[in-house]
Structure 1
């Protein structure tokens, strides 16, 4: 079973994987920096702010403050979504390259099997003719 894994690992185009690794790492680092290190949004002091505006002007200010915080959070989420999409695009391109290489190797393996079969038939035929004489 270990021989099968070794064969699979030898078929991987490691030069492409290694050359694309910095792009993947950079994209993952950007994604992590944009998501992982953001402090959580400040919670409202007394639970949820009232939904109905009172005659009190400070209530309107609290609502406006919450709206601005939500707009900022939405903008940050959009930026994170774009970073994630860029990372996914890079991974998809690398996956496409790997699939193309696998297809080329599969085609070569089929051709090699056919050539080996033809050579084996010729060898058996030649050996049979040589032994029958």
Structure 2
């Protein structure tokens, strides 16, 4: 199971991920700002999905009830859109943090590898001087 993950992770273009992480976070912030700043709008004069068929459905009371129902649906969809964009913003921020941590770990790993190689060379030199 771990080998499968290692294979997947080795095929990820990490330089592109690292380079694009700030763009993704900025895009999510712009989306959040554009969506959260708007109030739910009511449709102005747009036709309903199914026009009323009878004269009773055309009465002002029925039309008003239908308009209120549609306004409720629009407000609910707007709330869902706000929640979705907030989630996308949070995911983009987490992605940015994850990429930063991965980059930090990559640099640390390179330093540790360099120190290990230097220690190995020192050990080989010391052993060759003893012999």
TM-score (norm 1): 0.53
Deviating above 4 A after TM superposition, structure 1's stretches of 4 or more consecutive aligned residues are none
Alignment partner, residue 104 of structure 1: 104
Q: Structure 1 pair 112/66, CA: closer, same or farther in 2 (3 Å)? A: same
Q: Structure 1 pair 79/87, CA: closer, same or farther in 2 (3 Å)? A: same
Which structure has the bigger radius of gyration?
1
Matches within 5 A, 1:58-73: 59-73=59-73
Q: CA deviation at 1:117?
A: 0.5
Alignment partner, residue 116 of structure 2: 116
Q: CA deviation at 1:49?
A: 6.2
Alignment partner, residue 88 of structure 1: 88
Alignment partner, residue 23 of structure 1: none
Specify every segment of 5 or more residues in structure 1 that has no aligned partner in the other structure, as ranges: 6-47
Matches within 5 A, 1:13-52: 50-51=52-53
Specify every segment of 5 or more residues in structure 2 that has no aligned partner in the other structure, as ranges: 6-49
Deviations 1:44-80 (A, max 9, x none): xxxx6625x73x5863421332122112210121122
* Partner SS for 2:52: coil
What is the alpha-carbon distance in structure 1 between the residues aligned to residue 120 and residue 57 of structure 2? Answer: 93
Query: CA RMSD, aligned part only?
Result: 2.9
Deviations 1:75-129 (A, max 9, x none): 1211221122112212321221122111101110111001100110121122112
Alignment partner, residue 128 of structure 1: 128
* Partner SS for 2:59: helix
